[in-house]
Chains A and B, each alone.
Chain A
């Protein structure tokens, strides 16, 4: 493809700072901010009309995440391409470190303390995996992606962190990593039957894997299959959550009127189960509004992916979008009783800093893809621009 075909704009490979600022995707930024605002409103209600319990902290986290997002967005997409394997390597090393440390201290160990902040390597891995797979498939042709020979590396890239996260034990994140990785393989062109085989293999592994699950994980799954099994014990979460949702009805009980959440019948109401409070107080209308916001965000991600002129960017944008979608789906399916209870927060709404920072960073990458959408990147460094 000659330069003249693509017009003058594309000739300019390097963008100035001002240009970058000007070309930030303000629509997406507005959507993300609005969704977070919705979340803050629910937290405000939950705290009983005071802001210093959760709202202020959450707002500060959003501000931090927002800044990170902008900074990440302004960094050239090629730099991210170059850093992809490094980031993945660091994340993997940290995961191993956490597992070893966790073995020593007995019990769930997901955090690593690096002085000022405590970091959850599994969160870092969510973004790094997208970057690494995107780079891998960026550097390989469609034919290569379709052949089994080249599939070995990405499969290991997915399974290694997933396994490490699973033994932490964090079923939710492991699922997220698997789904996200599989989606990227799918988008890269891996043959459909491979997914069929993988799925069949996974199904065959279920009885074996069951033995490796912790008791509380087994309980969660059994409870999911039969919620009334133990209504005051393991089934309590999901039963109370369904009561809250149902009691909300179409129009909800009104802002700050949700009895289930305000009388603390709902456990973890400000974190994983926040959707129930939202749906109790704002009803199905409120829940659909939130889903609408999420769909818009996903649509933006999708549009950005399709408009990118480099494969890395496309895969990164779709990968982040898929991760985001998985968060949304798993969380809502879980609180509505469609999936077992796994610890996955509701993106941008749940109280908590880790997921917020991860997602904002992810969206920073998506915006970076947007800003640098017209940059063509050769498959290999120094190779021809395809």
Chain B
């Protein structure tokens, strides 16, 4: 009995202790709950929201690119496509791939869908989570698309959808300039989360690339509630983005089209510039390619064709192609002599058909020689000996200085990315580059725009524009500023951009250029403009691609048809019009085209006439009309 009591007492006492212990532990739990649910509640609530709310970006429509007349040159096209959501296709108790395949088979009866495409979709079904839509087919015709819509109830999991693709209405005519868009690649810096959107495309070349940030716009966003697997449960909030800005380029699409067609299948580059504003009215490179294909994606064969084509369609020859300017360089050489005081406007040279320097004989293009010539006549007839003489006296450094003043040998900051600077050699340059001193004979070669001298068609057009506008430095531009200030008429003498050329010297050179096409003795007489008031001035150029041997010179040059294409001379021509008050400058370079005056001259003629007839430079889209009420005119 006593034992029993003792046992009971111990039990009761220890039970009390146990209860106390349990009470302590329970209060530990309660304080823990208080800590989590009251003290740190706010923090955890935020974490819970971060968990469940996912921000998804909505891509804005890409901005349009329009030409100076407001014509769309890069727009967006609706892309009718079909998506497959595997889980919606799934029947209970069936494998996902089986269900998806059955749906695709049914779809194949409505639209063309080959086995390859089906395999690709099925592979993606296996790889992605079952609620992620998979693109089955894109760029469907409206007929196919509506047929799918009608049959949608019988196609579980098939979702018809409208996306956007970049579209270039003028296609290949503006391909090099406007550029193209392509999917974001791994090497692109992700400076905007928008770039991570599936299917997002960025500007890869041309204006698309240059103005990419403007064109992109600002992404909108949608806040969606997601579960732990990333499935969207519902949309909580939607913020609209800003569509991309419209970008207007200086190009006149019609002039561009005209010039492109005029140049045909030649491997050529050309540029037309407004001599006052520097607006690039046309920038042509032929042959070209279709930029819309890039937005869709090219097949390997298509890409190889473009890359291996001998006339390099992907290259923008107007800014990337570097050619010896040939005789089109002679105005710069003449001005270097005149401005440097080495020669004067009345300088005369006798041309016997060649010039001997040391033991070398330098030939004029005219075998019999031109006889005695003035500066104006030297330009008119493009006498090589005359310019050998000038160049020998002036020296390469003065020539280089003048060429640099005219913007040769430098990029124009057009922003096309692929633009090349060309090359204007100096003594220092040669020594540094080759380790050899400049030779006197090299002065002569440079004097007729050959040897080391390299220029791009755009640079030549800008040079011509500066000759035409009275010697004021202009910078070619491709994008029309949205708010150009009202520009006052400028004076070539006092303008800060003035090249500080003597009006008399410039007049003498220009007189020569006028006579090139308008004098019967001029090298470009065949390319003259006969329409009254539209006359042009110009200068032809023919740049040798390989040296002419003594034997060839003695026997007479072979007929052009017998020389392989890649050995033929480059044909060049620069010109401006109208003569009285110049407005347009144009340069055309035709790779291996033969004679500058016979091949390139007529092209410049036609392009300049077209530009004048349509008043390309004066027309601007209504959007910008208010900003620039009057065109710039020299006083």
Within the assembled complex, what's the spacing in Å between the Cα atoms of A145 and B8? 13
A298: B residues at CB distance < 8 A: 22
Digit string of A304-333 for contact with B (CB within 8 Å is 1, else 0)? 011000010011001000100100010011
Contact B228 A247 (CB under 8 A): no
Contact B3 A142 (CB under 8 A): yes
Q: Does B348 contact A (CB under 8 A)?
A: no
Contact B48 A302 (CB under 8 A): no
Q: 8 Å CB contacts to B: which residues of A112-155?
A: 141-143, 145
Digit string of A264-302 for contact with B (CB within 8 Å is 1, else 0)? 110000000000000100011001100100010010001
Within the assembled complex, what's the spacing in Å between the Cα atoms of A117 and B575? 100
Q: Given A246-B40, A263-B52, A336-B29, A386 and B3 touching (CB < 8 A)?
A: yes
Q: Given A187-B18, A284-B33, A306-B12, A263 and B226 touching (CB < 8 A)?
A: yes
Digit string of B20-61 for contact with A (CB within 8 Å is 1, else 0)? 001001101110111011101101110111011000000000
Contact B11 A263 (CB under 8 A): no
Residue among A1, A141, A242, A249 making CB contact with B3, cutoff 8 Å: A141
Digit string of B219-239 for contact with A (CB within 8 Å is 1, else 0)? 000000111110001000000
B32: A residues at CB distance < 8 A: 333, 336-338
Contact B44 A247 (CB under 8 A): yes
Q: Which residue of B lies closest to A332 (CB)?
A: B29
Contact A263 B36 (CB under 8 A): no
Q: How far is the CB of B30 from chain A (nearest CB, A)?
A: 7
Q: Does B19 contact A (CB under 8 A)?
A: yes
Residue among A243, A248, A284 making CB contact with B47, cutoff 8 Å: A243
Q: Does B102 contact A (CB under 8 A)?
A: no
Within the assembled complex, what's the spacing in Å between the Cα atoms of A247 and B229? 20
Contact A279 B33 (CB under 8 A): yes
Residue among A186, A243, A283, A287 making CB contact with B48, cutoff 8 Å: A243
Q: Which residue of B lies closest to A295 (CB)?
A: B26
Q: Given A142-B7, A264-B229, A247 and B30 touching (CB < 8 A)?
A: no
A333: B residues at CB distance < 8 A: 28-29, 32
Q: Give the contact-size bracket for chain A.
A: 35 or more
Q: How far is the CB of B33 from chain A (nearest CB, A)?
A: 5
Q: Given A305-B15, A333-B29, A283 and B7 touching (CB < 8 A)?
A: no
Within the assembled complex, what's the spacing in Å between the Cα atoms of A31 and B51? 37
Contact A186 B18 (CB under 8 A): yes
Contact A259 B51 (CB under 8 A): yes
B553: A residues at CB distance < 8 A: none
A291: B residues at CB distance < 8 A: 26, 29-30
Q: Does B192 contact A (CB under 8 A)?
A: no
Within the assembled complex, what's the spacing in Å between the Cα atoms of A240 and B22? 27
Q: Which residue of B lies closest to A329 (CB)?
A: B25
A284: B residues at CB distance < 8 A: 33-34, 37-38
Digit string of A100-120 for contact with B (CB within 8 Å is 1, else 0)? 000000000000000000000
Residue among A246, A263, A329 making CB contact with B44, cutoff 8 Å: A246
Contact A318 B18 (CB under 8 A): yes
Q: Does A42 contact B (CB under 8 A)?
A: no
Q: Does A244 contact B (CB under 8 A)?
A: yes
B40: A residues at CB distance < 8 A: 246
Contact A263 B51 (CB under 8 A): yes
Within the assembled complex, what's the spacing in Å between the Cα atoms of A264 and B52? 10
Q: Does B1 contact A (CB under 8 A)?
A: yes
Residue among B26, B45, B52 making CB contact with A246, cutoff 8 Å: B45
B14: A residues at CB distance < 8 A: 186-187, 189
Q: How far is the CB of B306 from chain A (nearest CB, A)?
A: 46
A246: B residues at CB distance < 8 A: 36-37, 40-41, 43-45, 47-48
Contact A244 B48 (CB under 8 A): yes
Q: Which residue of A lies closest to B50 (CB)?
A: A243
Q: Does B302 contact A (CB under 8 A)?
A: no
Residue among A279, A295, A337 making CB contact with B37, cutoff 8 Å: A279
Q: Does A36 contact B (CB under 8 A)?
A: no
Digit string of B379-410 for contact with A (CB within 8 Å is 1, else 0)? 00000000000000000000000000000000
Q: Does B146 contact A (CB under 8 A)?
A: no
Within the assembled complex, what's the spacing in Å between the Cα atoms of A386 and B5? 9
Q: Given A189-B14, A250-B38, A306-B12, A265 and B30 touching (CB < 8 A)?
A: no
Q: How far is the CB of B331 from chain A (nearest CB, A)?
A: 72
Q: Does B261 contact A (CB under 8 A)?
A: no
Q: Does A358 contact B (CB under 8 A)?
A: no
Q: How far is the CB of A28 from chain B (nearest CB, A)?
A: 17
Contact B227 A265 (CB under 8 A): yes
Q: Does B520 contact A (CB under 8 A)?
A: no
Contact A189 B38 (CB under 8 A): no
Contact B44 A242 (CB under 8 A): yes
A186: B residues at CB distance < 8 A: 14, 17-18
Q: Which residue of B lies closest to A246 (CB)?
A: B44
Q: How far is the CB of A305 from chain B (nearest CB, A)?
A: 7
**A interface residues with partner B (beta carbon < 8 Å):** 1, 141-143, 145, 183, 186-189, 240, 242-250, 259-260, 262-265, 279, 283-284, 287-288, 291, 295, 298, 302, 305-306, 311, 314-315, 318, 322, 325, 329, 332-333, 336-338, 386
Q: Which 8 A-B pairs have the closest CB atoms?
A: A246-B44, A247-B48, A263-B227, A386-B4, A284-B37, A249-B41, A189-B10, A247-B45
Given contacts A283-B37, A311-B4, 19 further A-B contacts (CB under 8 A): A1-B1, A142-B3, A142-B10, A145-B7, A242-B44, A243-B48, A247-B44, A248-B37, A248-B41, A249-B45, A260-B48, A260-B51, A263-B227, A284-B34, A291-B26, A291-B29, A333-B29, A337-B32, A338-B32
